[in-house]
Amino acid sequence: MARDNKRAKPPQRSAAKYLPKTPSLSSLRKAAARCRGCDLYKDATQTVFGEGPTRAKVMFVGEQPGDSEDKEGHPFVGPAGKLFRKAIQRAGIASGDAYITNAVKHFKFVWRGKRRIHQKPKRTEVMACRPWLEAEIEEVRPRVIVALGATAAQALLGSSFKLTKHRGEFVESEWPARVTATVHPSSILRAPDEESRHEEMAKFIADLKIVAKALKGRGTKD
Ligand code: URA
């Protein structure tokens, strides 16, 4: 009998089966702490779930927790997070209006000497983690979703989305919210000198002011 030599694709890893039957932000957070939907839990200290009010007006989505977030268990508390929180404040977005999360809920890194160096998550890891993000959007029902950086933007808007082309625009999406994307705050920290860091911060705040303005409008989508 002829044999089919083609190897079957391994099943796609996913967090879906770890989702609670009755979702709420607190049941989701509890369930995510035990997620084994991909291998990133193995090296990370803990799951870093999103935080903010249940009915936040705006949801910010970063890439993944960094070294500080992994240790502390909260999103955006390290150097990029501090810069980000300063920027939203300067843009006039109240922290009480914001739910802050990440596309991937575990820190991915490699050891370099004694330091843990961030590694970009693979598309399969982003997709494996997406059920948590979908559930957060479903629970929070924000009016506006802001992707911070290309990984978050592509998690929300598909892998063909180009941040360089559509930064700061509200774009068509499957989500019941207005969706936009801007740079990741860590890119501002990586600017080569003080002057460009200043310029990049000003551009970032300008993007966030567009969001602040949209939050003053009514409804979810135009
Ligand atoms: N970078 C992110 O994308 N998320 C965090 O929580 C921290 C740094």
- pTM recorded for the entire structure: 0.94
Q: Residue 1 C-alpha to ligand 1 middle, in angstroms?
A: 54
* Probe residue for ligand 1, chosen from 151, 184, 188, 204 as the CB with the greatest number of ligand atoms within 8 Å: 184
The pLDDT score that the predictor gives to residue 8 is 72
Sheet of 178-182, strand order: 98-102, 58-62, 144-148, 178-182, 170-171
Atom of ligand 1 nearest to the CA of 63: 3
How far apart are alpha carbons 210 and 102 in whole angstroms? 21
What length does the chain have?
222
Q: Ligand 1: residues whose CB is within 6 Å?
A: 62-66, 69, 75-76, 78, 80-81, 102, 186
The pLDDT score that the predictor gives to residue 217 is 80
Q: Residue 134 C-alpha to ligand 1 middle, in angstroms?
A: 18
The pLDDT score that the predictor gives to residue 122 is 97
Check: CB of residue 157 under 8 Å from CB of residue 173: yes
Q: Which stretches of the chain drop beneath a pLDDT of 70?
A: 1-6, 10-11, 218-222
**Neighbouring residues of 82: CB distance < 8 A, sequence distance ≥ 6:** none
Q: Residue 3 C-alpha to ligand 1 middle, in angstroms?
A: 48
Q: Residue 21 C-alpha to ligand 1 middle, in angstroms?
A: 28
Question: Where do runs of H (alpha helix) occur along 92-122?
Answer: none
The token pair that represents 172 in the structure block:
């068509």
State pLDDT tens for residues 179-215: 999 999 999 999 999 999 999 999 999 999 999 999 9
Atom of ligand 1 nearest to the CA of 62: 3
